[in-house]
Structure 1
Amino acid sequence: MREAGISIKKVEPKKPSGCERALAYLTSWSKTPEEWKFQKTRQTWLLLHMYDKEKVPDKYFTILLDYLQGLQGGARDKTVQKAEAFMKEFDSSDGEDPTLLEKCERIRQVLQLLS
């Protein structure tokens, strides 16, 4: 084929996105705890995006709430501080936006769990 000038392109497998990796990490924590290993980057991604229903669907959010119960130290404190700041921001807004209401409900759940 090379002699005929035909090039063959190798198709490289698509690498999972940060979202896919974080959700797989969470699923692993839930389903196979004996094989699960802590990964700070995955935890950080989850903590940054946990209020976004697009990135962390409801079925994963319930698992994430269980995961958050074990959160310790600075990560726990920072998560509570951010949630409280988001809640103050929500309280000062008009509260009409449905996506903001969904986010607020998640924030409430996290604050109830960690406070």
Structure 2
Amino acid sequence: MGAGKNKSHRKKRISKHVLQSEERKKEAQLENKLISAAGGNGETLADSPVEKQSSDTKNSKVKDPQEAASYLTLWNHDRTNKSGAWKFNKNTQSWLLRHMYNSDKVNKQTFGLLVEYICQGGEGTRSRVEEDAKQKAIRYKEWEKKQQQQSNGEDGKDDEVQAETPKGAKNDSKTEEEAWAELNEHDKRKEYKRARKVIDALKDVREKEKAG
């Protein structure tokens, strides 16, 4: 009789395992459909941010820009359809915020979604992103002023100091300053435009919150 009970328990465990397996398959199929509906560029489920979460926890950086783009694409689709397929991923978000001004890693379309994503985020994240954007905008305007003075034959020495350490802004790390200094005029201008877009978008959010 004891053997019969054990056999019965094994059957229940096997049945539960099979049911869980079937549920996972159904969820995978649903997520694939959602990614396709959201306009994914042929990503498979293995490439989607949902399935990559376990690997992201092991790796501090998201190495594939397309993976980060898919994360935002799924977020944008999910906020409209409320399917619950999108899951927050801290590592992916951190990667996006670190590289948001790098057009080689975050293209124009992804950046547009990222700005909307930031505007929907918490006050703490929005404040940090806005402060960083303001520092970048100040840095560019000071650099631009220095370039104009040099072209007019002025010294511009004092302005160079201001460009490195904007008033009211925190000092950037040496490596970031060096990387920025190596950018050509076009890329510096592109970074500035992105910074202005972030600043304007977050300003609109604050005004709407006050009005509401």
TM-score, normalised relative to structure 2: 0.44
Q: Percent sequence identity over matched residues?
A: 28
4+ residue segments displaced more than 6 Å: none
Q: Do residues 59 (structure 1) and 109 (structure 2) align?
A: yes
- Relative contact order (alpha carbons < 8 A, sep ≥ 6): 1 or 2 greater? 1
Kindly tell me the number of residue pairs found equivalent between the two proteins: 103
* Mapping of residues 29-48 of structure 1, within 5 Å: 29-33=75-79, 34=83, 35-48=85-98
Alpha-carbon distance between aligned partners in 2 of 1:99 and 1:49, rounded to the nearest angstrom = 14
Aligned to 2:4: none
Aligned to 1:98: 186
Q: Which of 136, 141, 162 is residue 86 of structure 1 equivalent to? A: 136
What runs of 5+ residues in structure 2 fail to find an aligned partner? Answer: 1-54, 56-61, 148-183, 204-212
What runs of 5+ residues in structure 1 fail to find an aligned partner? Answer: 1-14
Q: Do residues 72 (structure 1) and 118 (structure 2) align?
A: no
Q: Does the 8 Å CA contact 1:51/1:103 hold for their aligned counterparts?
A: yes
RMSD (Å) for aligned C-alpha atoms: 2.4
Q: Which has the larger radius of gyration?
A: 2
Deviations 1:3-60 (A, max 9, x none): xxxxxxxxxxxx9834232212111111244210111111111111111111111121
TM-score, normalised relative to structure 1: 0.77
Cα deviation for residue 73 of structure 1 reads 2.5
Aligned to 1:23: 69
Q: Secondary structure at the match of 1:93?
A: helix
Aligned to 2:100: 50
